[in-house]
Amino acid sequence: MMMAWAVAAVAGVVSAPLGAPPAGPYDARLCVTVASQAPNCGPAQAQISADGGLRVRIHDIAYHLSFEQGALLGITTHGNMQVADFVSSYRWAGTTLMFGDGPRGLQFELQLLPRSQRAAASATQDADAPNSATKANNSR
């Protein structure tokens, strides 16, 4: 496939992309827009490697993303089978990555949240929940 050639051509030039969050595991929300339809969003798991590569998993679909010479190189797999590849421009805005697969008319938005932050946010929500219920009962 064409992607194998593109990856081989830039294999020696691997570095973390400018503006990317630090390496580590993340909980994520991936939104995919097809053509002019509304985005379809759902939970995902993400891992940024030390060299800046990004792997995003949704059930048995995985997106293997690398950032080479200013472009995002994407390979989509279903289980162990490669089902698509693409080269795209991309943009990081904080912990949100935006990119596309032009030939297929797809736009992606990946929002990352470090797992430690999610656990802390969940604990805060759990701690506030009894107070909210008490306040609601007291206001009756």
- Whether 3 shows a pLDDT value over 70: the answer reads no
Quick check: helix, strand or coil at residue 14?
coil
Q: What domains can be seen in the chain, in order of their start residue?
A: 2-6+23-128 (2.40.128)
Residue 114 reports pLDDT greater than 90: no
- Going by C-alpha positions, the residue among 103, 96, 112, 79 that lies closest to residue 3 is 103
pLDDT tens figures, 27-68: 999 999 998 899 999 999 999 999 999 999 999 999 999 999
Q: How confident is the model at residue 5 (pLDDT cuts 50, 70, 90)?
A: very low
- 14-32 CB burial, b ≥16 within 10 A, e <16: eebbeebbeeeebbbebbb
- pLDDT for 132 equals 41
pLDDT > 90? residue 88 = yes
Q: What is the pLDDT of residue 34?
A: 95
Mapped onto helix, strand or coil, the DSSP state of residue 30 is strand
**C-beta of residue 137 within 8 angstroms of C-beta of residue 130:** no
